[in-house]
Amino acid sequence: MKLAQLRRSLTLRVTLVFVLIVALVSAGLGMHLYRSFVAEIERRDDILLLGKLRQIQQLLGNAGTLDIIRERPQYFRDTMSGQENSLVRIVRADGTRLIDVNPNGETVAHAVPVAVDAPVTNSDIVSWTSRDGYPARVVAASARIGDPAQMADISVARVYGDRTAMFAAYRWQIVVSVAVSALVAALLASLMLLRGLRPLRNIAAHAALVRPGKLEQQLDARGAPTELLPLIQALNAMLARLQEGYARLSQFSADLAHEFRTPVTNLLGQSQVMLARPRSAHEYEQLVSSNVEELERLSRMIDSMLFLARAQQEEMVLVKQVLPIQEEFLRLADFFEGLAEERELALACHGSGTVTAEPQLLRRALGNLLSNAIRHAAPGSTILLRSHATNEGVELSVSNLGPAIPARHLPHLFERFYRADPARSDSAASTGLGLAIVTAIMQLHGGSATVASDAAATTFTLVFPLEDCRSD
């Protein structure tokens, strides 16, 4: 693994963070335990030091103590057995040293003796550092010797060299424990992350298998961690959308090729037939006129496709205006009046109120519906344009009399290149994209387009939402 990749590794980052946390927690706990241990040992040593002082005071108060000191000078050395670093000094009031247990000749700090009848506490203990660099403690008190009593000063001290070594060993054990804990934490964190990230690796492996035409494979959410379920569900939803979009795109490409092939084949066939033998100028003129019609149809189809492509872009901005519905209906009827008269059709407009929409797009949508109605309306009938206000918004509808559209075709009428009856479609006038454009326009406005057809009439309805419309 390259250094740059290693730096970006999530496993490495989480492992380092986990190790750092474990090391800090272990070090903090170790320091707490170490300080507690040191404080307890020092407290116990002070208790022992004070206990030794009281023990010597009691011994000195016994009858015949002076005789014992003269006859057995090693007596007080024996009382310090097992405490090789302990120091004892007994000095009479006149300055005479009775006992001086200090085998190494340590220079002991001076401690003010506590009165004979006063209690000796930890505050009376004096600390100093021995010549070897070890901490040392000394406490002093006055005492009565023998009977009759004589006054003397007792000093009890101890050099804690062994304790210092023990503390050093304890600190080293803490360091080793922290290091071992960090190492174990690193190993466990790596194993946990490798196991925990397995679902992500499965997702990556599945994503690597995704190919055009193989989008139907869904990620298996069984056994996945709860935290990854939203991701898996989102990816599955994305794959479903991609599959749906790819299917529509494939179908659209096939339909587009079919729709382009027909006029191109017509152009090519007519031109080849015309060029097979000499023709008159009139025949050539008819050929050119026919080719122009086919080229115009291709041009309209291309324009429609470009519009649909732009309509699907989220950045397309609409400049909406408040438009009087009746005026828009009359404008549309005036434009299509000539075409309607050719088919002996009448146009009736019944509308009121206003609608908020982009003017050109609204007119294009209504124009496509009216053009479609004129092509399929029964001769001598009336095409009705109406508006109707509802709680949800306003509905603009175009109705025509004629044969009912079979129910199986209704859900597909707004699809691209879909024709309920191709035999009835005028290839020169229809591209198969008019109703798809209507749907795209309504989606841009946040509305919808619907169709209903029965023996009475066929009605296409545009539904504008409430926030985009106003009623008088």
In terms of domains, do 65 and 138 share one? yes
CA separation for the pair 348, 340 (Å, rounded): 11
In terms of domains, do 357 and 466 share one? yes
In terms of domains, do 332 and 463 share one? yes
Least confident among 101-110, 170-179, 265-274, 448-457? 265-274
CA separation for the pair 277, 264 (Å, rounded): 21
Scan for tokens 């109707």, then name that residue. 388
In terms of domains, do 444 and 367 share one? yes
Per-residue model confidence (pLDDT) at position 431? 63
In terms of domains, do 127 and 153 share one? yes
Which residues span the domain enclosing 267? 226-311
Q: Is residue 260 part of a domain?
A: yes
pLDDT in tens, 121-133: 989 999 999 888 8
Contact 321, 359 (CB under 8 A): yes
Q: Could you tell me if residue 13 is left (phi over 0), alpha (psi between -120 and 50 degrees) or otherwise beta? A: alpha
In terms of domains, do 137 and 158 share one? yes
Domain boundary among 268, 285, 311: 311
Average pLDDT, the chain: 81
Q: For residue 264, give the CATH number of its domain.
A: 1.10.287
Q: pTM (2 decimals)?
A: 0.50
Contact 381, 400 (CB under 8 A): yes
In terms of domains, do 395 and 456 share one? yes
In terms of domains, do 253 and 329 share one? no
In terms of domains, do 59 and 135 share one? yes
Per-residue model confidence (pLDDT) at position 471? 41
In terms of domains, do 297 and 334 share one? no
pLDDT in tens, 358-369: 888 888 899 889
Q: Is residue 294 part of a domain?
A: yes
Per-residue model confidence (pLDDT) at position 423? 46
In terms of domains, do 261 and 350 share one? no
Q: Which band of pLDDT confidence, cut at 50, 70 and 90, is reported for residue 41?
A: very high
Per the structure, the count of domains in the chain is: 3
Per-residue model confidence (pLDDT) at position 291? 82
| Burial per residue of 132-152, b for 16 or more beta-carbon CB atoms within 10 angstroms, e otherwise | eebbbbbbbbbbbbbeeebeb
